[in-house]
Amino acid sequence: MDANELLTRYAAGERNFRDTDLFRANLFRANLAGASLFRANLFRANLFSANLIGVNLFRSCLIGANLSGANLSGANLSGADLIRADLSGADLSGADLSNADLSGANLSHANLSYTDLTKANLLRADLIDANLVQANLDGANLKETIMPDGTKHR
């Protein structure tokens, strides 16, 4: 499936896109609120400023994806692969990122308030100026993570 087909089907009311292959799809500013992209392949997809409120991205591949400025509030990203993803300025408030791999991800200026990051891998992630108010970091790997104040976690 390509980006145009996905958007056409979404506009027609379809919301279940489980196991969909959207490798390098251009979904710039797309509205996919409430969609299920369970285990979808979004490797290097462009989701810049997309509306992804409440989207189910459980165990999806988002390696190197551009999610800068995207609204992912309340989204399920549990177990998702977000290695080197750009989430700068994204709204992830109330999202579930438990067991997600965010190693090398850019989360600078992201809103992570009330986000579940339980057992997430944040190895070498960039959290400069990120909002972590009430975020759950229990069991998260913060090794070499750049913290909101610019210091590097050991």
Residue 74 has a pLDDT of: 98
What is the C-alpha separation between 4 and 10, in angstroms, rounded?
A: 10
Q: Give the residue extent of every domain in the chain.
A: 1-154
Residue 108 has a pLDDT of: 98
- 7-30 pLDDT tens trace: 999 999 999 999 999 999 999 999
- The fold for domain 1-154 equals Pectate Lyase C-like (2.160.20)
- 45-59 pLDDT tens trace: 999 999 999 999 999
Is a pLDDT exceeding 90 seen at residue 154?
no
Residue 111 has a pLDDT of: 98
Residue 145 has a pLDDT of: 96
Q: Give the 3-state secondary structure percentages of the chain, helix then strand then coil, rounded to 5.
A: 5, 20, 75
DSSP state of 9: H
